Structure 1
């Protein structure tokens, strides 16, 4: 259900809501929030809540200016894992300067601009996601270990699959939040699981993805296990990816018939993404650890497409009416707002230029091999420079290069990655 601001204030009065979580992403996609008392929400809708920008990764780009969170009433949901007495609700926020101007590093604002560009060109995009994570045991001191929760494999059943009840509780929790997963299963890796979501508008799909991550982390903790979205938590096992599928509809037909765009448009859109994927790999794969996953098992390395399932970058699935194009490179620690937005812009450029898709399984190059290479590609890209504000790109590139230098200087690189990513991502 979508609420207005006044309806939310009424809901608070009638449902014993005591706290409101104002949620947003840093530049790299890590979820952040500030809690306020529900009695402060009416003022917050009007004036926002100030955040210390310099303490948030990537928000140094605000150059010391104050930033304010403004909740989006349409994203209100109750957090089911919090107490039912003194309830907690959550809303995603837009980020603005004191004068009301949007902050350039606000991913939700970036994605809304991309969606408007698509509508102006006569198109509407719908995105679906398939998201992987791994469950690990805690030690006797309550700290996460690198011991997987089980040793089951793809689509195995209980008792080998020890995460069945956890996935069930995640899905039921999401349903209580108004989010409806399509399916869930044990994946190929030890302790690895996947939950899939139907296609929706780009902004809703990005919000759903972040809500899903919060639900997984919270539910796993109640079951006494640690959930990790780290792209490659185990060197000898499958990594955790996010497959992003999409379809494109002519905007004039979308509400009436949902007639998807022509096959030629979809092929040109896929060609546009393939042409620019090296430019925005820094956004789809934003950590040092991300590049340990690419090229391993079925995670893609070569820039090619194919119809059958495999290790291709893009799968063109003509049998899917919902989402016939699937990008398989991204992982679950990305900022989905920037990733979906850049996918839209790349697809639009491909369709405008009527770009031709290469032959099936014909490689058009390789994805960057390291975070440093990905930063170089983004910094020198005319495509990225066209859509990502200069100071935001400069901040992200600088942050990524510093991360790469820290990793390169580390004596025990695996320990560095565990400390940097395993406990928090």
Structure 2
């Protein structure tokens, strides 16, 4: 069934035609049902430079968002008659190589050439906040103050209306929401849904962030996916669970595995590839200045940071960069809430596929050493990214120097932050000399 037929059958009145820029910002135009055929056949135009990080200048031709009908999503719980569809940006009739969805599709095509399909699950963590009378950021639930609030039934119950509205929305969409919990930081929550193919999961991450944000605003709160909004609390991750499939069967399990994790040589090589490219990968899956406040944290009020500082792997052990919770998947724990899910999936999959091509071995599961330390700052991560041909290749997979553009933007971001005089500097240096 095509987009127009489905939309009319649902009683849809307006469609948000959505794409995201490299920074993960959702951009959209609201298209009335009367123009759905035009949307379906011709797309809808945007001034690409105005959308943000999309590799365009003001003089460039329109960026035209072409909808992917398979991503059509009715969202009447946001507004009656509203639906959403994810789009692939094109310029002058060709897929735009700076478009995150286009990049992920290119990497998945490489996996398909190797006879592999990739499934991904994503954990979405976020804080619910507002501001006090002085403008300072605070937890929206002022009673959420305990030192170890993780899983606290009372904190969950006070946010019942918000959490259940999101859960109900996910289940109406058929995503299979299976858990909603209070995370380790005061005001921090996580809501989970079933895994799917990599593109569908990335679409759902963007859709879910939108749903959470809009529904939180309706209750007077702000939902933030910022990695580390509070210095003394755990940061928000975007953990990805990845599995490879061949001819409809998982390529990960192997009951003869002598290392004891139940994994195949393909799985171990996939793991080894991710570890080999971990420093560069951090520039994509932890892409903000604030990201490194999360991975660099040494302590939090609850007593743990839950953020990896070294590129290691192990079994069902959350201190590792790559955790193997069972023999069917691997969990990448280095990513955070600021990650663009399309870029994160594309870069991670490319790194793993490189490991398979080169038949890399990750060694024995175990602890960290100084040689596998992750980047300390966004600037270090951009240096690692620029020097890594596999991760840059993933960003450049659709035919442009996206990696060069991306690293330039991120270095500028770092220096904009670095050039800002902070309260910490005033407190420590004002009268120190």
- TM-score where L is the length of structure 2: 0.86
Distance 1:413 1:174, change over 3 A: farther
| More divergent stretch after superposition (131-140 vs 45-54) | 131-140
- Given candidates 118, 127, 135, the residue that maps to 2:128 is 135
> Equivalents in 1 of 2:352, 2:64: separation in Å?
32
Matched, 1:326 2:331: yes
> Equivalents in 2 of 1:413, 1:212: separation in Å?
34
- Given candidates 108, 112, 119, the residue that maps to 2:105 is 112
Structure 2 match to 1:94: 88
- Given candidates 376, 389, 392, the residue that maps to 2:402 is 392
Where 1:309 maps in the other structure, the secondary structure is: coil
Distance 1:353 1:283, change over 3 A: same
Structure 1 match to 2:367: 361
Contact kept? 2:181, 2:189, Cα under 8 Å: yes
Map 1:28-39; keep pairs closer than 5 Å. 28-39=23-34
Contact kept? 1:216, 1:227, Cα under 8 Å: yes
Contact kept? 2:216, 2:223, Cα under 8 Å: yes
Shift of 1:282: 1.4
- Given candidates 114, 125, 129, the residue that maps to 1:121 is 114
Where 1:325 maps in the other structure, the secondary structure is: strand
Could you report, residue by residue, the CA deviation over 1:268-327 in whole angstroms, capped at 9, with x for unpaired residues?
A: 10110010121221110111101100032120111111213232111122x354xx2010
> Equivalents in 1 of 2:250, 2:335: separation in Å?
27
Structure 1 match to 2:430: none
**Ranges in structure 2 where 5+ consecutive residues have no aligned partner:** 255-263, 298-304, 426-433
Structure 2 match to 1:147: 139
Where 1:91 maps in the other structure, the secondary structure is: strand
Map 1:183-332; keep pairs closer than 5 Å. 183-250=179-246, 252=247, 254=248, 257-258=249-250, 260=252, 262=254, 263-296=264-297, 297-317=305-325, 319=326, 321=328, 324-332=329-337
Where 2:13 maps in the other structure, the secondary structure is: strand
Structure 2 match to 1:419: none
Distance 1:5 1:160, change over 3 A: closer
Distance 1:94 1:144, change over 3 A: farther
Shift of 1:165: 3.1
CA RMSD of aligned residues (A): 2.2
> Equivalents in 2 of 1:57, 1:6: separation in Å?
29
Contact kept? 1:69, 1:94, Cα under 8 Å: yes
> Equivalents in 2 of 1:365, 1:154: separation in Å?
30
Shift of 1:258: 4.9
Could you report, residue by residue, the CA deviation over 1:350-382 in whole angstroms, capped at 9, with x for unpaired residues?
A: 112111113322435111111111111112222
Shift of 1:139: 4.3
Shift of 1:222: 2.2
> Equivalents in 1 of 2:55, 2:156: separation in Å?
47
Structure 1 match to 2:301: none
Structure 2 match to 1:51: 46
- Given candidates 363, 380, 401, the residue that maps to 1:373 is 380
Where 1:329 maps in the other structure, the secondary structure is: coil
Shift of 1:55: 1.4
> Equivalents in 1 of 2:86, 2:130: separation in Å?
31
> Equivalents in 2 of 1:11, 1:285: separation in Å?
41
Shift of 1:182: 2.1
Contact kept? 1:48, 1:69, Cα under 8 Å: yes
Shift of 1:334: 1.1
> Equivalents in 2 of 1:46, 1:413: separation in Å?
53
Structure 2 match to 1:350: 355
Matched, 1:26 2:26: no
| More divergent stretch after superposition (201-210 vs 295-304) | 295-304
**Ranges in structure 1 where 5+ consecutive residues have no aligned partner:** 416-425
| More divergent stretch after superposition (45-54 vs 170-179) | 170-179
Where 2:94 maps in the other structure, the secondary structure is: coil
Structure 2 match to 1:336: 341
> Equivalents in 2 of 1:314, 1:413: separation in Å?
36
> Equivalents in 1 of 2:39, 2:207: separation in Å?
22
Distance 1:371 1:120, change over 3 A: same
| More divergent stretch after superposition (404-413 vs 361-370) | 361-370
Distance 1:380 1:66, change over 3 A: same
> Equivalents in 1 of 2:340, 2:296: separation in Å?
22
